[in-house]
A = this chain, B = another copy of it.
Amino acid sequence: LVVRHAQVFRDKQNINVLTGHCVETTNPDKQTVAGSTTDGKDFEFPYDRLLIATGSSAIRPEIPGVDLAGVFVLKDLDDGRKIKNFLKNNNVKKAIIIGMGYIALEMCESLVNLDIAVDMVKPNPVFLPWLEPSMAAVIRDGLESKGVGVYAGHVVDRIQTSSAGLQLIGPDLNLTGDMVLVGIGVKPNSRVADSAGLELSIAKSIAVDRSLKTSAKNIYAAGDCADALHIVTGAKTWIPLALRANRAGWAAADNVIGKNAALEGVAGTAVFRVFDFEVARTGLNLEEAQRAGFDAVENTIQSSSRAHSYSSSRPHPIWVNMIGDKKSGRLLGVQMVGTEGVAHRINAPAVALQNRMTVARYSQTDLAYAPPFGPTWDPTLTAANQLLKKM
């Protein structure tokens, strides 16, 4: 267990934590779970309420060589320890990362900061495809300026050992490094739910309602294994992020003990840092908005994270992309890239989405201003004012 030992749960909270027990079958009619222990014994337990909180797992590509020594995924603490050990015990001068999402980029920064050269590779030729193209180009330029090789649009067919280290081979790819990290996303651990006949949802996550109830009586699911409602589209989505997982855990526990807790949904608000840049988003991007049936209009502005009057050694550009619905006037999504002041700035539009605000009403919000922290008009307000002209 991560935060505390199983024994603490047993002694202090009177929770009968059974590690080494793998649930193989769940019977929603009998209300039992059954399986076997790591030392080969079978078990069967009855339940009044069952909570499935199985999380998600790192996706491993099904290619030859993915199990070679020196090839790692990064999902849990143990993965992190293995990577740290490998770095300590090997003279790693060059790493190859398969994938270019949040985790892959965060791993890239960590390795470059350890003076390790990094190449990144993925099949999709579009870098950060969910991000507005000119803003994605800013991040890509930043990566390349740090010496990172960005191989977007290249398939890896196999990993093999060569005299020079680990070799990644593809139709138009031949990269060699001392270690390989795989960061191509996660999948929900929904096997237990699936085998019990529970309804699955987007990406095979477990379908739950606002109260975290699954399709089966007295069975709840919470965390990365479960789906959620998207507050902009109102439709089911699967965006496994920490805050929602944490919040769903509390709400499910409340419901299990008979309190009534219902969650509103997620906006897909997320932020990550990669080298000099903070990258954040909330709500829908243009493609998602169009696919959801909105009459989407978008605009991108460049502003500054501080007032021009405030003396500063370097400029702090900030780019804001904003999407609105021409028909209803609603704000649908915001993306932001900048060298500072991005991470918390995304939260104001996130709250606006939760309230189904129009772009016009958002443009009227009373946001804080002081020269060290931004221009008089917060960049998200300028973005709203400019987007309104297109709406």
A→B interface (CB under 8 Å): 231, 241-244, 246-247, 263-273, 278, 280, 282, 341, 343-355, 357, 361-362, 364-370, 372-374, 376-378, 381
Contact = CB atoms under 8 A, between A and B. Distances in A.
Contact of A282 (B278, B347, B366): B366
Given A264-B364, A345-B347, A347-B378, A369 B273 contact: no
Contact of A373 (B271, B351, B365): B271
A368 B344 contact: yes
- Copies of this chain in its oligomeric complex: 2
B343 A376 contact: no
A347 B376 contact: no
A373 B273 contact: yes
A378 B349 CA distance: 15
Contacts of A341: 343-344
A180 to B, nearest CB: 24
A269 B368 contact: yes
Given A352-B351, A361-B264, A280 B372 contact: no
B273 A367 contact: no
Nearest to A385: B250
Given A243-B377, A345-B344, A361-B264, A272 B370 contact: yes
Contacts of A348: 344, 347-348, 350-351
Residue in A246, A346, A364, A365 with the greatest tally of chain B CB atoms within 10 Å: A365
A260 to B, nearest CB: 12
B366 A243 contact: yes
Given A341-B344, A344-B348, A354-B357, 6 more contacts: A270-B370, A271-B369, A271-B370, A343-B373, A348-B348, A352-B355
A292 B53 CA distance: 45
B354 A361 contact: yes
